[in-house]
Amino acid sequence: MLLNCILFNARSLKNKLPDLHFVLYNETINYDVLCITETWLTTSVTDAMIDPKGLYTVYRYDRPDGRMGGGVCVLVKACHNVVYVDLQLSHASFECVCFDLFISYHVIRMFVIYRPPSTSHSSDVLNMTDLINCLATHSVNTSTTCIL
C-alpha cells in the first residue's frame, strides 16, 4: 500500500486553519498523513477546530509552558490503524509526536520532531544528545522507523 504523506512548517497554524482545511478536504490532494511543525498551538485551539469534519486522527504536542512558537501536529486519516506512543517529553529540549502506523503486516514508527534553534554550541550539543537518546530509547527493532 502506498501512503501519501506531507511534512511542512506552518509557523502558526492557528492563523492558517482555512488553508489547512482546504488541504485536508480537497479530494485531488488526498493526503493519508500530514505532519506539521511550528504549529504555535495552545489549548485554546481544539482538535475539532483543526479537523472539523472528524476525518483524521489528530495527535499534537503543544509547548507545555505556554511560550509562543514550536509545537507539532500530526493528522492521520481515520481509516488507518494508528497508535499514539507517549514519549513523556515534559522536560525535553524539542517537541515530538510519535506514533505507530500499521500498514498490512508492517509497522512504521514515526517521529515528527521540531527542535528550536539554540543560542550556543554547548546547548546545541546537549539538545541533540537529548534527541538522540529519545530516539534510541523509543526506536523498535521490529518496525521501520521514520524520523521527520
Question: Which range is least confidently modeled, 43-47, 48-52, 117-121?
Answer: 117-121
pTM for this model (two decimals) = 0.93
The residues spanned by each domain of the chain are 5-147
CB 67 within 8 A of CB 39: no
The CATH architecture of the domain made up of 5-147 is: 4-Layer Sandwich (3.60)
The percent of residues in the chain predicted with pLDDT above 70, rounded, is: 98
pLDDT at 2: 83
CA distances from 40 to 112, 118, 135 (A): 15, 17, 23
For 40, phi then psi, to 5°, come to 60, 25
**Beta strands 144-147 and 106-114, pairing class:** parallel
Q: How many beta carbons lie within 10 A of that of residue 82, not counting itself?
A: 20
Average pLDDT over all residues of the chain: 92
Residue 135: all three cell numbers together: 530516539
Q: Residues 58-85: pLDDT tens digits?
A: 999 998 777 788 999 999 999 999 999 9
pLDDT at 47: 98
Q: Shortest CA distance to 37 belongs to which of 74, 64, 65? A: 74
